[in-house]
Every structure is written in C-alpha cells, then in structure tokens.
Amino acid sequence: MEKPIKNLLLVFSMLIFFHAHSQTETPNILWISVEDISPMLEVYGDKSIKTPNIDRLSKEGITYTNAFATVGVCAPSRSSIITGMYPVSIGSHNMRTGPHYAYREPENETYKDYYGQKDIKGRNVPEYATVPPAYVKVFTEYLRAAGYYTSNNAKTDYQFNSPITAWDEIGREATYKNRAESQPFFAVFNHEITHESRIFMKKEDPMLADKSKVNIPKYFPELPIVRQDVGRSYSNIMELDKQVGDMLRSLEEEGLLDKTIIFFWSDHGGPLLRQKRAVGNSGLHVPLIVRMPNGQMGGTKIDDIVSLMDLGPTVMSLAGIAPPEYMHGRAFLGPYKTKNPHQYAFGSADRFDEAVDMSRSVIDGRFVYIRNFRPELPLIYRNAYREQIEMTKTLIEMDQRGELTGGAAYIFMKTKPVEELYDLHSDPDEIHNLADSPNQQAKLKELRNALSAWQLETGDLGFVPEYDLVNMMWPGMVQPKTDLVKFEASGDLLLLTSATEGASIAYQIGEEIGGKFWRLYHQPIPAGKKVVARAVRIGYKTSEISEYDNFPKSAEDE
C-alpha cells in the first residue's frame, strides 16, 4: 500500500501547486540541455564522482528514473524533442541529414548534392532537410503564440534548419534577458562539455575524476586506456556540474530561481562505445530532473516511463497550453498531464554517418527487447568520428587480434542475433541475451508484439531506403520552396496567408523591418504600418520576403 499512497500524495501536492501557481503568474521555464550522458550521477546511484549542483537539483526537484531518448544520437533525438514526434514517423531517423547543428539564416540554407553518404542500396544520399507531415510544428511556436519569449543558446540539430518562426532569439548570445518586462520566457541553454568529442579534444586537460574509482561497464576490459577515457567522461560531467551551479547562482541573483521551472536532461546516453548510437538501455537511458519553483515536490522520484519527446508537450502543459493531439509525446506534468503514461519506451537506430544499419527497441523499465533488421552486420560497426577516441581504436585493434574476452568480446560480435532480450535487474550492462531462454518466452512475445504494433502505428519509415525517402520529401531531389506570403486587409486588420500547406509565417512591422527579430504570425495584426513577411514549412526553403505598404500617403509624406 505504501507506493499507491505515496503516488496519491504526490498527485495531490502537484494539484495544489498548479492551482496556486495559476492564480499568480505564468511560469518561466528553462532547459539545461546536456550532451551524451547516461544516468552516470550519484542521484541515480553511481558513486564514481560528486556533482553537488546536480544533486541540489534532484533534492529540490523531481527525478525521473525511467527517462529515455528515442534515438541514441543527437540529431534524430533532437528532432523528436522539438516536434514531439518519433523520428521514424517523420523521416528524421538517419544521422545526419545536413549541416543543421546550428541555425542558418534562410539565405544561407544550402545543401551539398554529394558528401559521400550512401543508402542501403549504395545510392548517393545528398544533404537534405527532413520534411515532416504538414501538421507538424516545432512546439516553441505554440509558446510564442501564447506570449512566451523563446530563446535558444545555441544548438539546434533538428535534422532541418530551424524555422525563423521557432525562436525569438537564437545563437551564442541568445538569452531570456532580452525579453520584454514581465514577459514569461522559455529558454534553452545547451551545454556541450560532455559531448563525445570532448573525450579526445580534452585528453590533455587536468583530470578531475579519480580514475581508480570510476565505474567501468562490463562490456569494457580493465585497461589503463579504458580508465583514462571513462575517467574523462566523468571528469567532463564534473565540469558540467560547475556550469549548472553557475546557472543556478545566476538565477538566484536575478530573483528568478523560484519563478522558473528548470529541466535538466541529456539528449541520449553516454559518449563511449556501445553507449552513444546504441539502441538498448545503454544508448537511450538518460537523466531527467525537473525543479519546480520553491523546490516544491523536492526529492521526489518518479518511475513512470518518460520519453524525451514528452518534453515539449510537458512544457506546453506547464505553460497552460493543451498539447496538440497529433504529437506522440505526452505531458508528464502540468494541468494537461496525461492520464496514460507510456507503457514502453521505443527506440530506433538507422544510418549513423557512413554506417548503414537498422534496429528497433522497446524497453519496459526492466526488460530491453531489440529487433535487428540487418543481423548480418556486426554490432560494433566502423565509424570514423568515434574512432578518434583512443580506447575505441585500442578495442578495435584488440578485437582484430582476437584478444577480447567476456563482455567486450560480446559487443564485438561479428553478426547480430535477430532478437535480443536483456533483464536490467540481473544484467544492467546488457551482455547476456535471454531471447532463447525458455523462462523468458512470455516476455519476449509481449515485447516483440509491442514493437510490431508500434512500427505499424507510426508507419516506420526505416523500411524506406534513404535515397527514396529523400525523393519522397524532396521530389526530384530538389528542396521544395514555401509559397510567398499574401496580405489581405480586413477593416483595421491585416491577414497573412501562404498557399503552402503547413507553412508558418514570420513578420516584421514598422521600425523592426531589416532587423534580425521576426514575430510569429498567429492572429490578424493591426493595419497602419508597413509590414514585411515570409513563410516557411519545416524542411522547405523559406519564401522570399513579401511587403505590404498599401497605405494612402499623407500630404506631409509627399
């Protein structure tokens, strides 16, 4: 009876909080977005290092123990976060589609016809921008329409260029501090210190972690180079913790800490081999902590399964906005919190840079089921980017000499089983496949069926060769272009439209024209001043600028 009572008390306290908060002001919301870490933190039971500032977030916030990415690599994962959709349902599942890691002005959005990528049939895959269904929007547009100031500092990586309608401010200098007085904000700060690249880029930096005490997964051998690179990943987390502390202090000094809801999350699992890009628990399980104003519900732990694609709907819910029904993501906080949490977390793995593969997974919090659609391929494929990490090169060389044993030999299997099943309670490192175990056939069948149903429901586009997928989104391999904005005067109001289905419209008015700031058009605007506007649908080329200046000139103007 203890857990139901505990959950009931939690729900009751949340209802009290949201009722009280709705009587005062719209909350500010801030994301501390971090890269490439699994739950390698003391708040999740890992004693390798101390992270006092992240510990503080957990003590004053809600810690989610079963949070998962949809893909074990940044760009597809971030596409699901910004849209609230499974990547396999919108065509953003292959890593990476183009130079989308940072925002490009519409005039600078260009793509290479050839950059060395091949699809499963060996055909050239050009750079491209994913084109989701017309009804899919970036969730920040809903916030802007509700009066929020949105800022992103600075990474995007959505598999399409960020629409000019997505953010009030984007870039290395973007901050909530530029909002209008009393305007609520949604601000994202992306911390790159824990990214995979920092393992090799920072190898000469001082080591903050005690290498002798860091946790070594059983799929790595006990070697000095392994302790060095695993230690570096923990050392980078310690640096991240200092950055988190700086942000908390800044919010306190500005009097904003207890007026702001803070989310701390990683875009996918850890930076090392069999973590990043993996489709099992090691690649998808992430830390997620939410701190409410005044530390309400502090110290609470939630075991419900949460997906990173739930982040957008949850932010909308906390802002008092009903998430649209088309989103796969579900709000896990706020007045629109779902009554039906996810039963499973689903994951996908397809092309990772030059390596083409296809696997799918389903996780119920204890068991991990993986279906490999290219079982003839090895589990550990060659990938030039990650082979810049010293331990990765060492393990590959050892494997080629037949020197690996145990868990390390297991992950270097030369072909994959069609099905994998792991029990995280007895095998947290996923190195004992139970798919053929007579005792686990009921669980195997359950998860196999759940995965098949999910693939049918989402219309899994992983079965479409990437060349054909691009041609579906970009007919003739040419990026479609959004139609121009048209203006229609209706009394004292001006209506803006674009013939492109699903297009969003940005505009500037009066003295704003020519600047970098674009307003989001979401309702008719007052006529009387010169207006310029352009439209954009996700994945399409942004339209040229249209202008409306059809006002009678006064004698003074003449």
Q: Do 286 and 411 sit in the same domain of this protein?
A: no
Per-residue CA distances from 3 to 42, 228, 296, 303, 496 (Å): 23, 41, 19, 11, 53
Q: What percent of the chain has pLDDT over 70?
A: 94
DSSP reduced 3-state for 19: helix
Please state, rounded to an integer, the average pLDDT across all residues of the chain. Answer: 95
Q: Do 366 and 321 sit in the same domain of this protein?
A: no
Instruction: Give CA angle at 518 (488, 554), nearest 5°.
Output: 50
Q: What is the mean pLDDT of residues 317-340?
A: 98
Does residue 557 sit within a domain? no
Calpha distance 496→516 (Å, rounded): 20
Domain range enclosing 386: 349-476
Calpha distance 226→283 (Å, rounded): 18
Q: Do 176 and 320 sit in the same domain of this protein?
A: yes
Edge-to-edge strand ranges of the sheet holding 519-520 = 519-520, 504-509, 531-536, 546-548
Q: What is the mean pLDDT of residues 465-471?
A: 98
At 166-210, the pLDDT tens digits run 999 999 999 999 999 999 999 999 999 999 999 999 999 999 999
Q: Which residues pair with 359 in a beta bridge?
A: 349, 372
Instruction: Return the pLDDT at 550.
Output: 72
Whether cis (ω within 30° of 0) applies to the bond prior to 96 is: yes
Q: Do 405 and 501 sit in the same domain of this protein?
A: no
At 330-387, the pLDDT tens digits run 999 999 999 999 999 999 999 999 999 999 999 999 999 999 999 999 999 999 999 9
Calpha distance 14→333 (Å, rounded): 8
Last residue of a domain, one of 432, 455, 476: 476
Stronger pLDDT, 537 or 555, i.e. the higher one:
537
Rounded to the nearest 10 degrees, what angle do helices 311-318 and 74-83 cross at? Answer: 30
Q: Do 338 and 218 sit in the same domain of this protein?
A: yes
Per-position b or e across 214-223, b if 16+ CB within 10 A of its CB:
bebbbbbbee
At 232-247, the pLDDT tens digits run 999 999 999 999 999 9
- Is pTM beyond 0.85? Reply is yes
The conformation of residue 448, written as its DSSP 8-state character, comes to H
Instruction: Return the pLDDT at 7.
Output: 45
Q: Do 178 and 203 sit in the same domain of this protein?
A: yes
Last residue of a domain, one of 453, 476, 499: 476
The CATH number given to whatever domain includes residue 510 is 2.60.40.10
Number of H helices, E strands in the chain: 13, 21
Does residue 556 sit within a domain? no
- Say which of 29, 74, 188, 262 is annotated catalytic: 74
Calpha distance 272→226 (Å, rounded): 10
Instruction: Return the pLDDT at 25.
Output: 75
Q: What percent of the chain has pLDDT over 90?
A: 94
Q: Do 129 and 233 sit in the same domain of this protein?
A: yes
The CATH number given to whatever domain includes residue 338 is 3.40.720.10
Q: Do 418 and 488 sit in the same domain of this protein?
A: no
- Please report which confidence band the pLDDT of residue 22 belongs to, taking 50, 70 and 90 as the band edges: very low
Does residue 223 sit within a domain? yes
- Please report which confidence band the pLDDT of residue 5 belongs to, taking 50, 70 and 90 as the band edges: very low
Rounded to the nearest 10 degrees, what angle do helices 390-400 and 224-253 cross at? Answer: 150
Classify residue 363 as left (phi > 0), alpha (psi -120 to 50) or beta: beta
Q: What is the mean pLDDT of residues 23-33?
A: 86
Q: Is the pLDDT of residue 20 over 70?
A: no
CA 176, 180, 184, 186 dihedral sign is negative
Q: Is the pLDDT of residue 64 over 90?
A: yes
Q: Do 277 and 260 sit in the same domain of this protein?
A: yes
Instruction: Give CA angle at 359 (470, 398), nearest 5°.
Output: 115
Q: Is the pLDDT of residue 294 over 70?
A: yes
- Please report which confidence band the pLDDT of residue 30 belongs to, taking 50, 70 and 90 as the band edges: very high
Q: Is the pLDDT of residue 24 over 70?
A: no
Q: What is the mean pLDDT of residues 122-131?
A: 98
Q: What total number of domains does the chain contain?
A: 3
- Please report which confidence band the pLDDT of residue 551 belongs to, taking 50, 70 and 90 as the band edges: low
Instruction: Return the pLDDT at 552.
Output: 52
DSSP reduced 3-state for 96: coil
Tokens of 448: 């196999």
For residue 89, the one-letter residue type is: S
Does residue 66 sit within a domain? yes
Q: Is the pLDDT of residue 326 over 50?
A: yes
Q: Do 499 and 452 sit in the same domain of this protein?
A: no
Q: How far apart are the first and last CA of the chain?
A: 81
Q: Do 503 and 536 sit in the same domain of this protein?
A: yes
Q: Do 185 and 225 sit in the same domain of this protein?
A: yes
Instruction: Return the pLDDT at 9.
Output: 43
Q: Is the pLDDT of residue 6 over 50?
A: no
Question: Among this protein's residues, is 227 annotated catalytic?
Answer: no
Instruction: Return the pLDDT at 3.
Output: 44
Tokens of 314: 């949850």
Instruction: Return the pLDDT at 84.
Output: 98
Per-residue CA distances from 403 to 79, 400, 432 (Å): 39, 8, 20
